[in-house]
Chains A and B, each alone.
Chain A
Amino acid sequence: MLSIKDLSFGYGQQRLFSNLNLQLEPGLHWLSGANGSGKSSLLRIVAALNHASQGSIHFRQHQVGSAAYQALVSISADAVCPLQDNTVEGILQLVARCRGIPMEPLLLHAKAFMLQPLLRQNVAVLSLGQQKKLSLTLALAAKPQLLLLDEPFNALDPESLVYCCAQLQEARQQGALVLIASHLSPQSFQLKLDQHLELKAGGHLSVVPL
């Protein structure tokens, strides 16, 4: 279970959340909200990339930032961009090495996302959709228990969209907690959601009926 307690965060003088509380069970969760409501920042905080000024985050009793926690989490977001001056293959190898996973699942997802012909290309020359596919490949291949996806469906072609949704359903069936932040309506996608939350200004969360 993901447990967020009394979370406060802001950029300089601008405060995004104050005392945000959230408890999520494994499953597929959709987090919507207006632009600037703090969805992406919340995901980055949960991924230990940003640090909250106050509050605590635990996943399966492990504290955010601990080695046990980090081994369970993966994030795909536009703000988490693979190194631009490396090849696609180089990035796959790098993630395989750092996360201690074999290359096969990475190559499998890359093939499904039609990235295989681009393995020798530099990341910088990939299109927006191709960069998104690479980011999803890296996040999915690690088979994380806590999968954080920020606007995962933006710029994806229809085939990749179907594949991505299928992979998220599979992750859900395997007991993972998938948190998708998006400003889009979840009805547009073939996903069986467990919960739909809306984040409003100041960090107020409300449950939206499915």
Chain B
Amino acid sequence: MGTYLLFRCELFWQQARHAFAPLQQFSLMLLLVAGHALIGLWAPLVLLGFQLFNPELDITERWPYLQMLLVMLLCWQGAVAWQQKSVAEQYFVESLAPSAQTLWLSNKLMALLNQLPFWFFTLPVLIYLLLSGKTMAWLDAAQLLLVLLVLCWSFPARQTSWLALVAVFVLPQLSLWSLPLLILMLLERVLLHLFSGNSFSAGSLFRYWLYWFIGQQQNKALLLLITFVLALWQYWLAQKLKAEAVVFIHSVFIWGVALLCYAQQKLWQQQLASQHYFWLSCCTAKQRLYLKLINILPVLIGAALALFVLNATAAVWTIMLAVVLTVWPKVTLLSVAVLCFMLLLVLHGQGLWA
């Protein structure tokens, strides 16, 4: 049993390392990413922390900040989930388990490990809320704990994401701006029902891509992030938006879009590579090109929303970065694009702070 549990931990670690393998090839890029993370995430996290623990705010005012934190973590979780093994490989791993009980235990432990970022970020918040001695804070803590328990109970990423969304968006308060999310969930159900069991042909590339897109965790996270930022923007407009809040939304949005586009691009390229000969056999060269370009669509939707939500300069750079990340499979250009993007963000961010 101990040997098997150790093996599962090693496997988890191996998966985690592989997830970021392309980044490890470029130490300069890693340095810059770290720098950008400090600049890009410092402001929103400080603001987030400040607002979360601000005793002058009541529960309804603090919830959006908590929700934002959870959405960011959900996106991270989606990014990890993309490295999940195929069903056949999972069967292999499970076939090595000494007993069904050990298998169940190891799956649950891996689920907990997979959710580590959630615990890492939210446990301090939970402890603070519990120790604050305020009744409203205890209520917040109870809700947060409920969300965390729901998140950690289920290992499959798809279930986790929907449970998280219900917990984050529906439980606290059912307001008007949570409707787009409910619509998205319903849309997913309808589309999956429509496409389930249908055969694909070279002439139905868009339908194939849509089917694939909807099935991916981080793609849903991308759409939800865009919808959520839009909703939050409307919420803050009513609350008389502060300058810090602009930085907050701005940084989180661009970071979210950039990382998710990278994840999506990586996944889509893998999908095309794994079915390389299949596509070669049933598509013309032009159709294969369309198949690659079709991946830009969600980014364009996101970018159009960025134009609406963010200011024009930031939106244009978000579009450019997103498109480059989405279509280009080579890491070299990817790193150059990220470098340019980060420099621009630093300059732009300084302008915002001033």
Contacts and interface: CB of A to CB of B under 8 A. Distances in A.
A86 to B, nearest CB: 8
* B interface majority secondary structure: helix
A94 interface: yes
B85 A70 contact: no
A106 B103 CA distance: 24
Contact of A78 (B88, B97, B103): B88
Contacts of B91: 44, 49, 77, 79-81
Contact of A83 (B3, B93, B100): B93
B8 to A, nearest CB: 10
B95 A83 contact: no
B86 interface: yes
Given A85-B18, A94-B7, A97-B7, A67 B88 contact: no
A79 B88 contact: yes
Interface string A29-48: 00000000000000010011
Contacts of A80: 88, 91-92, 95
A98 interface: yes
Output the residue of B14, B85, B89, B92 with the most chain A CB within 10 A: B92
Output the residue of B4, B100, B102 with the most chain A CB within 10 A: B100
B86 A81 contact: yes
Size category of the B interface is: 20 to 34
Interface string A60-98: 000011110111000101111111110000000011011
Contact of A67 (B86, B92, B95, B99): B99
Given A65-B99, A67-B99, A70-B99, A83 B7 contact: no
Given A81-B92, A84-B89, A66 B7 contact: no
B199 to A, nearest CB: 16
B118 to A, nearest CB: 26
Nearest to A77: B91
Contact of A47 (B85, B87, B95, B101): B95
Contact of B95 (A66, A75, A85): A75
Nearest to B104: A65
Interface of B: 3-4, 7, 11, 14, 18, 85-89, 91-103
Interface of A: 44, 47-49, 64-67, 69-71, 75, 77-85, 94-95, 97-100
29 contacts: A47-B95, A49-B94, A65-B99, A66-B99, A67-B98, A67-B99, A69-B99, A70-B98, A70-B99, A71-B98, A75-B95, A77-B91, A78-B88, A79-B91, A80-B88, A80-B92, A80-B95, A81-B89, A81-B91, A81-B92, A82-B92, A83-B11, A83-B89, A94-B7, A94-B96, A97-B3, A97-B7, A98-B7, A98-B98
